[in-house]
């Protein structure tokens, strides 16, 4: 729809600005250094990630992937910060992706 297209375009502009001057053009390509710089997680978010490791068997790589997705969800929400709901949604999507049908 037009509203979704508009949100995606705005998120792409945010990412273009974030990575200006680098060889990265989207959140999926962020390295660990970029995660530390652009994806600060609150203490509550850290606890949720720890629970994902304990209860869902997430690896460090899966946690980093969830944080990248959370950054994208936050961009779509036009939020400068990764909020708890962004991280929760990303973990849910990541966990759903692991279900075998």
Tell me the per-residue pLDDT of 11-61, one tens digit each, with 9 for 90 and over: 999 999 999 999 999 999 999 999 999 999 999 999 999 999 999 999 999
Mean pLDDT of 65-84: 95
Task: Give residue 94's pLDDT band: very low, low, confident or very high (50, 70, 90).
Answer: confident
Task: Output Rg (C-alpha) for the chain, integer angstroms.
Answer: 14
H or E element: which one contains 11?
Answer: helix 2-18
Mean pLDDT of 54-76: 95
Q: What is the DSSP string of 39-95?
A: ----HHHHHHHHHHHHHH---HHHHHHHHHHHHHHHHHTT-SS--HHHHHHHHHHHH
pLDDT of residue 63: 95
The answer to whether residues 65 and 94 touch, using CB atoms and an 8 Å cutoff, is: yes
Burial class of residue 77 (count of CB atoms within 10 Å of its CB; 0-12, 13-18, 19+): middle
Indicate whether 99 pLDDT > 60.
no
H or E element: which one contains 6?
Answer: helix 2-18
Mean pLDDT of 62-69: 95
Indicate whether 95 pLDDT > 80.
no
């Amino acid at each position: 729809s037009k509203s979704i297209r508009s949100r995606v375009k705005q998120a792409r502009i945010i990412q273009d600005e974030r990575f200006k001057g680098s060889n990265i053009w989207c959140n999926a390509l962020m390295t660990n250094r970029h995660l530390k710089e652009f994806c600060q997680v609150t203490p509550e978010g850290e606890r949720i990630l720890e629970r994902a490791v304990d209860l869902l068997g997430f690896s460090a790589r899966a946690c980093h992937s969830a944080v990248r997705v959370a950054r994208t969800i936050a961009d779509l929400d036009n939020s400068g910060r990764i909020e708890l709901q962004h991280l929760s949604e990303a973990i849910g999507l990541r966990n759903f992706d692991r279900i075998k049908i």
